[in-house]
Amino acid sequence: MSVVPPSLSGMNLRGAVDLSTLVNRPPAPAAGAPPVPGAPPAPGVPGTPAAGPVAVPSLVLEGTDANFGEILELSMSVPVIVDLWAEWCEPCKQLTPILEKLVLEYAGQFVLAKVDVDSNPQLTQAFQAQSIPTVAAVIGGQPVQLFSGALPEGQVREVLHRVFELAAQHGVTAIAAAPEASGDAEAEAPASGEPELPPLHQEAYDAIDRGDYDAAIALYKTALARDPRDQMAVAGLAQVSLLARLHGKTMAEIRSAAAAAPDDLLTQLAVADLDLSGGHIEDAFDRLLALFPAQEPAGRNLIRERILEMFEVIGQDDPRVPPTRSRLTALLY
């Protein structure tokens, strides 16, 4: 069965796939990433778009165990879509042509890396490809699991749209320039028939891109005031609130403050934010749930609200949400 992220909140750089064994050295941090040594970028960290197009031999590359370090480096500037396939796979023969068509149509907004699972066992294992086709993205050197199975073109376009949104938030916005790319490499992608983002959402994304988190928070709150059922605004508000809390802080500062004041709720909440941003989801939840019983009602409510917000950051469809929700409910009642 195909699995498609139902919303942008389901697509974050959260370290679910380990690519570290495929390179001799870790990739450089994404432009604009917070000064957290050794940690991957937090979800939605904005950056500075790369200057000018990035030259590539082709918009469709062959990804192998041997050359994937170079593709990771490319992903620091241009989003890379990874298509894990095999010659014998019939659904792959339906999906791969769609991806090859779209990579040309979008004229360098992303690069397609095709990985033959039969020839590249390390990549197959690293991307946790339990069935094929499996499609993932790599943005700023960090993986994002997308879907498995053959999807129709319309749904693939929807997934790509979300990938571009996430890449823009991380400053991965260069254009790949290749011989087969038609037209101006820096021209906007042709219209795909998808509706544009609502104005408030677009303004919020623009604010995040320039690092104005307070403005983005205000815009998402306005969107929710107009429509409390706007789930994309709920997720966006959770993500940008995390960014605002972490902005300007370092890993050392956060962890040393928490070590010096183990009973201080605010410092422990900051460590949970740090864990979440680094992909240590279970650690973040465990820390907050362990703090819960000793708190006064106000502190318990703050922890409850923070955990619910974290659900939105990682995506309500994340498998770690239901067990954490059950543990929280048991503590509440």
**Mean predicted confidence (pLDDT) in 27-38:** 32
Provide the pLDDT for residue 52: 53
Return residue ranges of the chain for CATH 3.40.30.10. Answer: 8-177
Return residue ranges of the chain for CATH 1.25.40. Answer: 199-332
Pull the structure tokens for residue 106. Answer: 């979008």
Calculate ∠ Cα 238-45-261, nearest 5°.
70
**Mean predicted confidence (pLDDT) in 89-116:** 91
Provide the pLDDT for residue 19: 53
Residue with tokens 């241009």: 78
Catalytic position from the list 92, 137, 240, 307: 92
Q: Is the pLDDT of residue 53 over 80?
A: no
Provide the pLDDT for residue 195: 47
89 tagged catalytic: yes
- Domain 199-332 belongs to what architecture? Alpha Horseshoe (1.25)
Catalytic position from the list 89, 138, 207, 254: 89
* Helix/strand/coil (H/E/C) assignment for every residue in 140-162: CCEEEEEEECCCCHHHHHHHHHH
Q: Which fold has domain 8-177?
A: Glutaredoxin (3.40.30)
DSSP 187-198: SPPPP-SPPPPP
- 286 vs 155, more confident: 286
Provide the pLDDT for residue 141: 87
CA–CA separation, 270 and 277 (whole Å): 11
Whether the model pTM is above 0.85: no
**Mean predicted confidence (pLDDT) in 220-242:** 88
Q: Is the pLDDT of residue 299 over 90?
A: yes
Cβ count near 266 (within 10 Å): 11
- 114 vs 228, more confident: 114
92 tagged catalytic: yes
Q: Is the pLDDT of residue 61 over 90?
A: yes
Lowest pLDDT segment from 18-22, 88-92, 151-155: 18-22
CA–CA separation, 314 and 238 (whole Å): 10
Provide the pLDDT for residue 51: 39
Query: Quick one: angle between helices 199-209 and 213-226, nearest 10?
Result: 170
Q: Is the pLDDT of residue 168 over 80?
A: yes
Confidence of residue 45 (pLDDT cuts 50, 70, 90): very low
Tens digits of per-residue pLDDT, 257-296? 999 998 899 999 999 998 887 778 899 999 999 999 999 9
